[in-house]
Structure 1
Amino acid sequence: MFRRLTACLGVHSSSSQPREAVTASSAKRSLEYPTASPSQASSSRTSFSERTMCMHNHSGAAGGSVTAAREILPATVKPTHYRVELTPDLVGFEFKGVVDVSLKVNEKITTIVCNANELKIQSATVTSVHMKTENTQPATKITLDEKAETVTFEFANAIEAGATATLHIEYTGIHNDKMAGFYRSSYTKDGEKKHMVVTQFEATDCRRALPSWDEPNLKATFDVVLNIEKNFTALSNMNAVEEKDVEIDGKSLKAVKFATTPIMSTYLLAFAVGDLEYIETTSSAKAPADAVPVTVRVYTLPGQKEQGRFALEVCARVLEFFSEYFDVAYPLPKMDLIAIPDFSAGAMENWGLVTYREIYLLYDEKNSTAKVKEGIAYVVGHELAHQWFGNLVTMDWWSELWLNEGFATFVGWMATDHLFPEWKIWTSFITADYSQGKELDALRSSHPIEVEVQSPSEIIQIFDAISYSKGASVIRMLNSYLGTDTFKIGIRAYLQKHKFQNATTLDLWAALGAASGRDVAKFMLPWTRDTGYPLVTVLDERFDEAKGEMTLKLKQSRFLSSGETTAQEDATGTVWWVPLVITTHLAPRKATDHILSEKEASITFPYSKAEGAFWKLNFDTTGFYRVRLNEEQLRSLATLIKANPKALSNEDKLGVLGDAFALAFSGHGSTTAALELIKAFEAEEDYIVLKEISTKLDSMIDAWYKEDKEVTNGLKAIKRQIFSGKAKAMGFEYPVGEDHLSGLKRTLVIEAAAHADDAEIVKALQERFVKFIAGDESALPPNLRAIAYSTVLAYSTKPQEDFDAVMKIYRTAATPDQKVFALVSLGAVNDQALVDRLMNEIVLDTEVVRSNEVPMVIRGMTSNNPELVRVRALVWPFLLKNWDLLIERYKASLGLMGGLIQLAIQPQVGQEILDTVENWRAGKDLKSDEEKAKRAEDIKAISRRIDQAVEFVRGKTAWVNREREHVAEWVKKSSA
C-alpha cells in the first residue's frame, strides 16, 4: 500500500465491459495455482489448548525483549477456501452476503470463532465430514464481540479433530463512507450525484465485508460472485469466467462469477462495482519460461479512461521487468488498475485489482505536471512490486510489514529507474525515502523496522516511514554492499522458496546469505530489530605523507535529533555493522570499502595532499547513517564545492547537506556552518541538489517563523541569491521536447524565487494568472499553476475574488492533480476571514471537499499562508472543537486522522503547544472518567503519530532557542 500522499506529486508547499470467458492459456494457469495443503493449513499456528492469545518474544528498541499478546484467532480451525457471494446496493447502501468457508478442524470443538466487524449475521450452519460421516447443524448461538471484532458460532454437537467442515453464513453489511471495508465512493455525473462501491481491506478490514479469518498467515483461495445491476461493471482479483441473469428480491440482476484465486491473504481480496470504462493492452514478459501474456486494463469513471494511458503503458512494462528480474512469472492472467475518487491511502496492491487514488493513476499530457507523471510511474511500480513482495510471498505477521513495504518501496524506485533512466530517480531517492526514514528514525518515539504489534490499532501505526522508507534504505545499502547480481540471486531464491506462502525476515537473510556466502543475518539484525541508526563521528584524521595514506579514527553512536543520547546509551547501545565506503580525489567515482563493526576503530586509505584533495565517508550516500565532521572539515568541503561544483557526485552533495543540517538541528553541529555550506552552492545547476538546498532553507524559515522578521527575510535573501537569477534565465515557457529534469528544474527555481518574495517573479505569476482565468490556458503551463495559485492568493489585493477563482478551478479542473493543487493553494489566502471560512465551512463540508482531501487543505494553510503565526495557532483549536465530528468521520481511516493531528501540531514551535497537547492527552479539560476513557480510546491508534509530532516540535523549539543569537548575527553579517 502506498501512503506517502504528497512526496511524488510536487504539491507546492514550503516545507465497462465484463471480461471475456477465460482463455485456454489462462485456464491452464488457473489449474496450476497451489491450494492450501494440510501442512500449510496448520503453518505458523499453535493449538487452542496452548493459547487463545499468542505470546511472542520479539526484539524491541535497543535490542530489548518484548513479550506481547497478539490479538489473533483460536487455531482450532484453519480456512482453506472461501466462496463469497455479494449483492451490493448502490442506493440503500446495505449489501447482502453469503459465504461458505472450507475449514480444516485441528481440535475437537463446539464453537467456531472468526472476524466480523459491522456485519449483521442472519444465520449460520456447519457441515462437517469425519470418518466419512457427514453432519449438518445450525448454530445454536451467534455472539458478536464489537470490541474484539469477532463473531462466535456455537453448535450443539461437537466437531471432531481431523474433520473437514464447511461453514455457511448469511449476513448483511453496510457500504459505509469511511473508505474502509466494502465502501461507497461518490462522484458527480451530469450534475447528479452517483456512487460506486469498492474495497479497502488492508490491514484488518476484510472483516467488514465478510466473516473471515482476517490474518495474513491464514491464507486461502477464494471464489467470488457479485450480483450487480446489468448496466454496471464488476471487478475482482481474478478474471470473470461467467455471467448470467438472476433475480434477487424481485430485482433482475446479473451474476458475475470470477475464476478461483491463488492462495492468498484476506487483506488482498478486492471487489469494485460501478459505471466504469477501460482501456487495455497486453504485457508479455520474455522470462521466465512459464511467463504468459497478461491482459492489462485501466478502469476509470466515464470520460476519464484516456487519462489512464500513461499508467497503462507503465504497468505493462513494469510487469515485464519484474517477471524477468525476479525470474518468477506474474501468476494471474490479468492486471486491473482502477481509479477511485474517495480513497484513504495512495494506492493498494490487491492481487490483480490494484486500487488507486485518482491522482496516482490519471495523467493528462496537456494538463498534468511532470512531477505527477513521475509520481504515477513510481506508485504503479510500487504496487506492482507487491504482486511478488506481499502477495506471492507475504510477511508472516504485521510485525514484519517491512518485508512488504520496504521491498516494494525499493524495487518501485528500481522499476522507475529501469523505465526512465534519464530521470536519475535514484538521486531523488535520497531526498525522498532516505531522508524521510532518517528524520523519523532520529526520534526517540521511533520504532524498530521489525516491531511487535498486537491489535488493529497498533498495526495501523506502523504504516510509516520506518516500514517503508527506512526499510527501503536498508535494502539499498545491503544491495550496494553485496553487489546487485548477488542481491538479485538471493531475492530470486527467496521468492522461489516461499512463493504462495508466508515468510519472515530471517528467511530473507537466509536467502541472501546463501547467495553471498556471508552471515547476512548477523550483521543485518541490528538494523531491523533495533530502533535508530548510527552517527559516525570523525574523532581524528592523520595523514602519512611518506606512505601516502590517511588514517581516520571513528566512533559510532546512536543519532538522535534531540542530541540527547546518554552516556550509558553510548556505552551500552547498539553497535551497528556500518559499511563506510570512502571516496577521495584520487578516484572520485570509485570507493574504498571499510566496515565499522565496533564502537571505535581506525581506518586507513590511499591519499595525497594535492590541490583539490578531499575525502568523504559514505560514498554516494548509500549507507543509512550520519557523518559528523568538525567545522574545519565541513568548511573544507564547502570550499571544494564552491571551487569545483563537479568534484562530488550529486548523491554525495545531498549527503553532505543532509548531515550538516541534521547535526545543526540536534546540536551536534553548527547552524551557521550549515548556512555557509549552503552559500557554497550558488553555482549549483543540478535539479535535485537545488531542490534540497531550497528544502533546507525552507526548514529554517519554517522553524524561525515566530522570530524577528530580519532573520527570515535574510534567509529568503539567500534563496533569491541562489534561485532568482536561474529563474529569470530559464523563463516561464516550457519548450516542446524539453527533457524531464530541465522542466522540473524550471518549475523549482520559479517556485523557490516566488516563495523567497522575488518581486519580479511574483508580478509575472500574478499577470499570468489573470490571463489564465480569463481563458488563456497557455499563460500558465501546468507545471506552474500550483505556484501561481498560491502566490496570487498570498499577495492578493482582492482576496475574495482570487479565492473564488481558485475555488472554481478546484471544482472544474480537468485532472485530479490540478484539483489538488488548487485545493492546497487555497490555504495561502491572505484574508483571515477567508482562512476562517476555509476551516469552519469548507473543510467540514464533505459535499465541497472529500474526506481524503481535508489534510491537503490543512497542509496548505500551515505551510503557505503568509500569516503563519496566526494560522498555525488556529488549526489545533479547530481540530479540538470539531473532534467528535472528525473522529467519527475518520474512525475507519485513522491514518488520515493521524495525519491531521500531525499537521496541527508539527509545524508549530514553542512550549505553549507542547503544554496544550500534553494537557489534552491527559484529559485535564474533562470531568468524568468515562470521558477520559473515551478520549484515550479515540487516540490509541494515533498515539505514536502524536508522540512523533510532539518530539519534533520539542526539537525545533530547542534548535531555535539554542541558535537564535548565532543565526541572527550570521544573517546580519551576510546581509551587510
Structure 2
Amino acid sequence: MAKDTHISKAIAIAFVVLTISAIAGLITMIILYKAQISAMNPTPPPTVPSTTTVLPPTMRLPRSVIPESYEVFLRFPFYTKILEVVNVTSPNQTTNFSGNTTIHFQCVQRTSTIYIHSMELEVSEAKVFNRNTDGEIQVSSMSSHEDHSEFLVIELNEALESGGNYSLSLVFVGELYHNFDGAYISSYTEGVPSHEGDKSADRNVFPCFDEPEMKAVFNVTIIHRRQTTALANAPVDKIQLIDDWKYTRFHSTPKMSTYLFAFAVSEFEATASSYEPVVIKTYARPEAVAAGHTKYAAEITGKILSFYENLFEIKYMQQKLDQIALPDLSPAAMENWGLITYQEGALLYEEGASSSLQKESIATIIAHELAHQWFGNLVTMKWWNQLFLKEGFATYISCFAVDHVEPSFNMKDSFFASELQAAFEVDSLTSSHPLVPPEEDIQRTYDIISLYDIITYSKVELNMVHFITYCSMYLRDLSYANGDQNDLWHYMQKGADANNRQVDVAKFMDSWTKQIGYPVITINTTSGEISQKHFLFNDSSQSRFVQKGPLPKEVLSSRSVVLLSETLSINGDWLLANVNCTGYYRVNYNPENWEALLTQLETNRSLIPLMNRMQLIDDAFNLARAKIVNVTLALNVTRFLYNETDFHPWDSAMRNFQYIYLMFDRTEVYGPMQVRFLKTFLPCDIQNNNLKKYYRNSAVKLSLSADVLTEPGEESVHVLQMFGLWMKDNTNIIHPNLRHWIYCEAVASGGKEEWDFAWSQYQSTNDTSEKYHLRHALSCTKKIWLLNRYLGYTLDPEKIQQVDAAEIVSSISKSVAGQVLAWNFIRAHWDYLSHGGPAVLIHAVTSRFSTQFELQELERFAADYHLGSAERVVQQAIEQTRVNIQWVSEHKDVLLQWFERETAS
C-alpha cells in the first residue's frame, strides 16, 4: 500500500498533512500512531449503517446546533523509522488510522437531525447524549453525502430541544493518502527527498462542524512512538509512556475555527527564541537545525510578534508559538494557531548560500503568518466569501512588520511593484471576481480554493494605515468570534469621523469590495475636466462598474489637493495624481501632460516620487493594452530608465515589457525587439551591483527568455567559466544573488553534460534555495529531448516532489518551444498536475496565447476537462487570449517600426 516509504537502512519521517476546512491553505500534521487504549474503546454497540439515498437540503450547515468543544483521540499505527525488517508489506505497518471524537454542543433550534462534515471516513458508530439528563438519545439512521455536500446526516428518534446541552460521539476509520486529496504521508531520507502529498480538510481526519463560524475549543490526545515529539495548537498538558508509545495530551486550545486545527509528531529538533512570556520554537530536520538554517527565522519571529502586539495593542493570545519547516507542503505556509507550518524554503535560511531574495521572502512569509494570529485566528471571517478580511490585511500589514525588522528591504515599495500591479492586471478582466463575492456563489470546495488568488491577497489601498487604531478596536471587540466587512466598516467609520473625513465608509467600500475591477481616472490639464470609468482590457462599454464616493485625491504640482467633483486648475508644467499610489485606480492624462511628465523624468526624475515612477510605467503600458493611449507613449516612458538607479522602476518596466515580448516573440518583431532588450536591460558588467539587490537576476530573467545572452560575448563567456569551474572541481564561487540566472544561462548555453550536472546537484543538495535555483535552471535548456525528459520526471515523486511539479512545468512553458511541450503535457496529465497549483499552470502556459488556433484549443480544454478550482483562471485565460488576438493584430506594425527605429539609433 505504501511501497514508496520502504527505505532500506534509512530513516524516514512521515508527515500527515491536513488542509484547512475546505480551502487551499494546508494545515500540516506529522502524525504517527499505533496502540489501542482500552478506555477509548468500550464495547461497541451495533454499527449504524450508512446510505447515500437522501440528499441534504443545503450545502451549508444549518444553525440548529452549535459546537462548544471537541475531545479528539487519534490512533495511527505508522512507523517513523523504516527499517529492513519493517517494510510496507509488514502487518505492523499500515496507512490506515482510527479514532473517536466527542463533540459537546448546544441546541439552539429544535431538531431531530444533526448535520456534520465527514469526508472519506468510515464512521461506524454514533451516540448522542443529553448532558442535562445524562440520558442517551437513540440514533435511527446515519447517511453519508460525500459526493454532494460532504455531510454526515444523523437522524434521531426524538428531537433535541432548544437550549439543551448534548454530546455526539463518533468512531471512525480513515486512510493516509499519497496524493493531494486528503491527509497525506510525506517521507524523506538523508539526501534523497521523496514525496507523496495530499490536501483536503479537517473533515478528512475526524467528523466535525467544518465551517469558520462554528468555532469551538479542541482537546487533543495523540498516541505516537516513544522516540518522537508531539506538537499541537496548545502546549502539552500530560505525557504518559506505555511500552513503546507516548500518550500526549494537550491543553485546551482557544476557541477557534476548525481550519486552524493542527498537530505534528516527528523527530525534528528546534531552535528556541527568547520572547517573554511566549515560548517560541522553530522546528526542522535535525541536520538543518544543526547547520543553523533555523537561526534567521528564530531571530525575527519574536521581533515581528512584538511589532504586532504594539501595533494592535493586543497581546499574542497563546503561551507558545511553534513553527515547523516541512520538506513538502503546499501552499508556502499555514497560520495554524500556535503551530505554524511552512515549506522548508519559506522558513530556512543558509547564510552564504541563500540569496537576498530568499531572505526577504522568508521575512515576508513569517510576517504574513504572524499577522494572521490576529486577522484570521483571533477574529475570523464568518464565511469564505469574506476571505480578504484575513488574507488582504495580512498581506498589507506584513509589509510594515518586515520594514520594522529589516528596514533595508523597503517592502512597501516592493508591495506595489510585485503585488498591487499583479492584482491590477487580473482585475482588468471581466472574468475577475469581486473582493467579496455573494455568499451563495461560494459553496463547494473548489469555489473556496479559487478565492485564494491575487485579488483576495493584494487588492488593497495603501492609505489604510490611518485606520489601524480602529482596526484594533475591531479585533478587541470581536475577539474569539467572527466578523464580516460590515463590522470592519463600522470601526473604520469611527476613524473617518475622528479625522473629519466626510465619507460614508460602508457605501464607498461596498462599491470597492462587491464589484469587480477598478476605475481609470482621466485628468485633462488643459480643460480642467476630471472623469472616471471602469478600466478593462477589452471594450468597457457594457461595464456595470459604478464607483461611488470620493477617491484618494492628492495631486503633486503647484496645488496639493483636488476633488474629483471639481474642475482643475494648475500653475505648473505638469500634474501628477495618486501621489505615492495610495489609491486603487489608474490615472490617464491629456497628451500634453504626459509629455511634460516624460520630460521631467528624463531631466530630473527625483521630483517624481519613487512609487509614482513605477506607477507611470505600469499605467502607461496598461492604458496602451486597453487602447486608451498609443503604445509608443508607453515605450517612451521607459527612456528615463537609463539613469534610474532604483530597482523598482526597472522591475515595473520588465514586467510590462514581458507582455510585449510574449505577444511578438514568434513574429518578425522579435529581432529588433531582442536587440532593444539587450540595450535597455543589460547596460552594466556582470559584477556590477549598483542596482538594488537582485536587479540583474530579474533583468536577465527577461533577457534570457529572449535568447539575448546566448550570443557570444564577454558576459556569456564569464558565466560559462564560473559554471565550468563548479563542474570541474566542485567549487561553487557564484554569488547566491546571481545563481538563479547564471545556472539558467549555463544550462541554456550548454548541452547534456551541463544539464546532467545540474540534475545531479539537485538530487544531492538538501538546501531549499539551491534546489529552487536548480529546478529553474533545468527548465532553461534549449534541447527539446531534455525538456521532455524533465517533464517526465515531474510525474515521478521519487525524482520530483509533486508539490514542485506545477512550478517546473510553468518554468518550461516560458520559452516558445517549451510552451508547446508544456501545453500538451498539461492536457495529457491534468489529473496529476492539477493537484499542485492549477492556477499557476494555466496562467503560465497560456500567457503567450494570441492566435485563433490557441483560443480554440483553450476553449476545447475548458469544455472537455474537469477544472475544479481552476475554472475561473481558465475563463480568465480565454478572455485574455481574445484580448491578445485583437491587440496583436492592431499593434504589430506600430511596434515593429518603433523597435527598428530605436535599434537603428
Q: Check the 8 A contact 2:130/2:136 in 1, yes or no.
A: yes
1:618 is matched with 578
Say if 2:889 is the partner of 1:961. yes
2:61 is matched with 73
Q: Check the 8 A contact 1:750/1:761 in 2, yes or no.
A: no
1:288-333 CA-partner distances (Å, limit 9, x unpaired): xxxxx11111111221122111111121111100011100110001
Say if 2:467 is the partner of 1:467. no
1:156-210 CA-partner distances (Å, limit 9, x unpaired): 3443332211111111112223346532222123769799x9x967xxx111111
Q: Check the 8 A contact 2:676/2:899 in 1, yes or no.
A: no
Q: Out of 829, 847, 853, which is 1:882 matched to?
A: 829
1:408 is matched with 394
Q: Which amino acid counterpart does residue 207 of structure 2 have in structure 1?
A: P
Q: In 2, Cα distance between the equivalents of 1:723 and 1:4?
A: 37
Say if 2:444 is the partner of 1:455. yes
Q: What SS is found at the alignment partner of 1:156?
A: strand
Structure 1 pair 246–595 and aligned structure 2 pair: CA distance change class (3 A): farther
Aligned runs of 1:55-204 on 2, under 5 Å? Answer: 71-90=59-78, 91-130=93-132, 133-137=133-137, 139-147=139-147, 148-179=149-180, 181-189=182-190
1:276 is matched with 268
Q: Out of 808-817 and 493-502, give the one that drifted further.
A: 808-817
Q: In 2, Cα distance between the equivalents of 1:821 and 1:4?
A: 25
1:743 is matched with 693
Q: In 1, Cα distance between the equivalents of 2:861 and 2:662?
A: 25
Q: In 2, Cα distance between the equivalents of 1:4 and 1:176?
A: 17
Q: Check the 8 A contact 1:181/1:206 in 2, yes or no.
A: no
Aligned runs of 1:290-301 on 2, under 5 Å? Answer: 293-301=277-285
Q: Quote how far apart the aligned CAs of 1:604 are.
A: 3.3
Q: Quote how far apart the aligned CAs of 1:593 are.
A: 3.2
Q: Which amino acid counterpart does residue 847 of structure 2 have in structure 1?
A: Q
Q: What SS is found at the alignment partner of 1:679?
A: helix
Q: In 1, Cα distance between the equivalents of 2:591 and 2:448?
A: 43
Structure 1 pair 833–308 and aligned structure 2 pair: CA distance change class (3 A): same
2:624 is matched with 664
1:720 is matched with 678
Q: In 1, Cα distance between the equivalents of 2:434 and 2:193?
A: 49
2:519 is matched with 534
Q: What SS is found at the alignment partner of 1:774?
A: helix
1:555-607 CA-partner distances (Å, limit 9, x unpaired): 10000022x011x548x8444632121012x5xxxx823343xxxx4443553
Structure 1 pair 210–968 and aligned structure 2 pair: CA distance change class (3 A): same
Q: In 2, Cα distance between the equivalents of 1:372 and 1:145?
A: 44
Q: Out of 849, 873, 882, which is 2:800 matched to?
A: 849
Structure 1 pair 369–510 and aligned structure 2 pair: CA distance change class (3 A): same
1:25 is matched with none
Q: What SS is found at the alignment partner of 1:578?
A: coil
Q: Out of 690, 693, 703, which is 2:650 matched to?
A: 690
Q: In 2, Cα distance between the equivalents of 1:260 and 1:681?
A: 58
Q: In 1, Cα distance between the equivalents of 2:451 and 2:686?
A: 44
Q: In 1, Cα distance between the equivalents of 2:479 and 2:695?
A: 43
2:530 is matched with 554
Q: Check the 8 A contact 1:661/1:696 in 2, yes or no.
A: yes
Q: Which amino acid counterpart does residue 143 of structure 1 have in structure 2?
A: S
Structure 1 pair 419–191 and aligned structure 2 pair: CA distance change class (3 A): closer
Q: Out of 894, 900, 906, which is 2:841 matched to?
A: 900
Identity of aligned residues (%): 28
Q: What SS is found at the alignment partner of 1:725?
A: coil
Q: Quote how far apart the aligned CAs of 1:508 are.
A: 0.6
Q: In 2, Cα distance between the equivalents of 1:954 and 1:777?
A: 50
2:505 is matched with 520
Q: In 2, Cα distance between the equivalents of 1:621 and 1:856?
A: 31
Q: In 1, Cα distance between the equivalents of 2:899 and 2:445?
A: 49
Q: Which amino acid counterpart does residue 134 of structure 1 have in structure 2?
A: D
Q: Quote how far apart the aligned CAs of 1:93 are.
A: 1.9
2:83 is matched with none
Q: In 2, Cα distance between the equivalents of 1:729 and 1:821?
A: 19
Structure 1 pair 749–897 and aligned structure 2 pair: CA distance change class (3 A): closer
Q: What SS is found at the alignment partner of 2:611?
A: helix
Structure 1 pair 390–595 and aligned structure 2 pair: CA distance change class (3 A): farther
Q: Quote how far apart the aligned CAs of 1:748 are.
A: 4.4
Q: Which amino acid counterpart does residue 561 of structure 2 have in structure 1?
A: D
Q: Check the 8 A contact 1:827/1:860 in 2, yes or no.
A: yes
Q: Quote how far apart the aligned CAs of 1:911 are.
A: 1.5
Q: Out of 445, 458, 474, which is 1:494 matched to?
A: 474
- 5+ residue gaps, structure 1, are 6-15, 19-50, 54-69, 285-292, 543-550, 732-737, 924-934
1:426 is matched with 412
Q: Which amino acid counterpart does residue 607 of structure 1 have in structure 2?
A: N
Q: Quote how far apart the aligned CAs of 1:515 are.
A: 2.5
Structure 1 pair 283–959 and aligned structure 2 pair: CA distance change class (3 A): farther
Q: Check the 8 A contact 2:220/2:250 in 1, yes or no.
A: yes
Q: What SS is found at the alignment partner of 1:388?
A: coil
1:96-154 CA-partner distances (Å, limit 9, x unpaired): 21111001022333332200011111212111134xx2212553433211111111223
Q: Which amino acid counterpart does residue 78 of structure 1 have in structure 2?
A: I
2:737 is matched with 783
Q: Out of 508-517 and 438-447, give the one that drifted further.
A: 508-517
Q: Out of 379, 383, 390, which is 2:365 matched to?
A: 379
Q: What SS is found at the alignment partner of 2:131?
A: strand
1:20-46 CA-partner distances (Å, limit 9, x unpaired): xxxxxxxxxxxxxxxxxxxxxxxxxxx
Q: What SS is found at the alignment partner of 1:257?
A: strand
Structure 1 pair 665–72 and aligned structure 2 pair: CA distance change class (3 A): same
Q: Quote how far apart the aligned CAs of 1:956 are.
A: 2.4
2:9 is matched with none
With normalisation by structure 2, the TM-score equals 0.87
Q: Out of 184-193 and 950-959, give the one that drifted further.
A: 184-193
Q: Check the 8 A contact 2:209/2:258 in 1, yes or no.
A: yes
Q: Out of 303-312 and 183-192, give the one that drifted further.
A: 183-192
Q: Quote how far apart the aligned CAs of 1:87 are.
A: 1.7
Q: In 2, Cα distance between the equivalents of 1:828 and 1:17?
A: 38
Q: Quote how far apart the aligned CAs of 1:491 are.
A: 1.2
Q: What SS is found at the alignment partner of 1:303?
A: helix
Q: Out of 351, 365, 378, which is 2:337 matched to?
A: 351
Q: What SS is found at the alignment partner of 1:234?
A: strand
Q: Out of 293, 303, 308, which is 1:307 matched to?
A: 293
Q: Which amino acid counterpart does residue 177 of structure 1 have in structure 2?
A: H
Q: Out of 934, 937, 950, which is 2:878 matched to?
A: 950
With normalisation by structure 1, the TM-score equals 0.81
Q: In 2, Cα distance between the equivalents of 1:784 and 1:192?
A: 25
- 5+ residue gaps, structure 2, are 1-18, 33-54, 79-92
Q: What SS is found at the alignment partner of 2:805?
A: helix
Q: Which amino acid counterpart does residue 541 of structure 1 have in structure 2?
A: T
Aligned runs of 1:806-885 on 2, under 5 Å? Answer: 806-839=758-791, 841-863=792-814, 865=815, 868=816, 870-885=817-832
1:59 is matched with none
1:795 is matched with 749
Q: CA RMSD in A?
A: 2.6
Q: Which amino acid counterpart does residue 744 of structure 1 have in structure 2?
A: Y
Structure 1 pair 228–138 and aligned structure 2 pair: CA distance change class (3 A): farther
Structure 1 pair 74–753 and aligned structure 2 pair: CA distance change class (3 A): closer
Q: Check the 8 A contact 2:843/2:877 in 1, yes or no.
A: yes
1:805-825 CA-partner distances (Å, limit 9, x unpaired): 111121122411210121122
Structure 1 pair 885–729 and aligned structure 2 pair: CA distance change class (3 A): closer
Structure 1 pair 508–884 and aligned structure 2 pair: CA distance change class (3 A): closer
2:8 is matched with none
1:32-66 CA-partner distances (Å, limit 9, x unpaired): xxxxxxxxxxxxxxxxxxx976xxxxxxxxxxxxx
What is the count of residue pairs matched by the alignment?
829
Q: What SS is found at the alignment partner of 2:606?
A: coil
2:7 is matched with none
Q: In 1, Cα distance between the equivalents of 2:112 and 2:566?
A: 67
Say if 2:221 is the partner of 1:225. yes
Q: Out of 168-177 and 327-336, give the one that drifted further.
A: 168-177
Q: What SS is found at the alignment partner of 2:274?
A: strand
